[in-house]
Amino acid sequence: MDFSLTEEQTIIVDMVRRFVRDEILPLEMGLDPDADEVSPEILTQLTEKTKAMGLYGLDTPPEYGGPDIDMVTRVLIAIECSQHRAGIYVPCYGAFGGARQAQLFEATASQKEKYLYPMLRGEKRVFFGLSEPSGGSDPARSIQTRAVRDGNDHWVLNGTKLWISGADRADYGLVFARTGGEGRSGVTAFIVETSWPGFNVSRVVHTLRSAKYATEIQIDNLRVPHENILGEEGGGFAIANDRLARQRVPYAAECLGAAIKAHEMAVEYSKIRETFGASLSSRQGIQWMLVENEIDIRAARLLVLDAAAKSDKGLPFRTESAIAKLVCSENAFKVVDRSMQIHGGLGVAKDLPLERWFREMRIRRIGEGPSEVQKHVIARDIIGSSLR
């Protein structure tokens, strides 16, 4: 398959590359190495520039004001956007519109007015509340948060959510609760406002990231209007799962972008760093590490572009997206690790972005479905849907 860039794709990639070089990299020089956001004023300035480029709201459908970007081009943009210090955690600090809760595109007209459009305008922050302490890799069966009907107009929710990103800074979000029996058909999605009584972010969960990453939510007799059900009662898991395959593709591409940059840094450093009278690049051991980097990057790039191309053609691509996520996250981790090793002590110093990419990449092997879950998805498609 030919993955040569079209003229339009070449122009877009060049624009995004210049944006990262001229706007993001100088900005990061004045930020803490673990910064995960910029001031509202700076973000506004950045988003004005991406809007002028016609690239704001990358994950927003054209009918809602987003650019008409195909998935292959979306992957190319993701690769470029992630090539800076915070690029794996928050590409370009959200200047291109950030990650959207795509499930809200399934909302009713009134729900869109109240919740979707403020999110698209950047006025409100949203969280996604699916995972629980009982397990996040099999949410269809592990969800224990319960919703009980209270009359005709309300539901009462009780339970705990864990590993929820951004809930402490969100205005509202999606909470998935069990309204029926076990399995997928018993889960319903509710739009919940964080200011409502009974909703409490109980703690910040610290991880490898120095900045805040995840939160735990306690839901205690939280009354939610019936009109805040997203989709159909019992259709929550279908809403959650519907866009996962599509979202995994740019997620995988972001891993690849950091790997590409880390490899470039390792190549350049190996040429200028001398040990015992010769450059590192002259050492066979270093050469082989660089070769392995190159192979891992090329393989990952072809696989993520293959998944994107199938998506654009309207072909089934669940297996391809799982393979792309698996290979990109695993290969990128190895590339960053080797690049750190080549840099020696400098590789683990916060002077360079390598150590942060290493930590972020370790999380990426778990986020959006651990590598083992991706293998299960792939095996299920190979062997048959009867595989549990």
Catalytic positions, please? 368
Strands (E), 66-211: 126-129, 146-150, 154-164, 172-178, 187-193, 199-205
Structure tokens, 15: 């624009």
First to last CA, the chain: 33
- What number of residues does the chain have? 388
Sign of CA dihedral 293, 24, 74, 375: positive
Reading the block at residue 231, the tokens are 């989709």
- Tokens 């305008």 appear where? 121
**What is d(CA 66, CA 54) in angstroms, rounded to the nearest whole number?**
9
Whole-Å CA distances, 135 to 106, 108, 161, 238, 296: 26, 30, 10, 18, 31
Bridge partners (DSSP) listed for residue 192: 173
For 88, the 3-state DSSP assignment is coil
CA 288 remoteness from chain centre: 31
- Cβ–Cβ under 8 Å, residues 366 and 213: no
Report the SS3 class of residue 207: coil
Q: How far apart are CA 212 and CA 204, in angstroms?
A: 7
User: Which positions ≥6 away from 40 have C-beta within 8 Å?
Assistant: none
Residue 370 vs residues 121, 179, 325, 326, 349: alpha-carbon distances, Å: 32, 27, 9, 8, 28
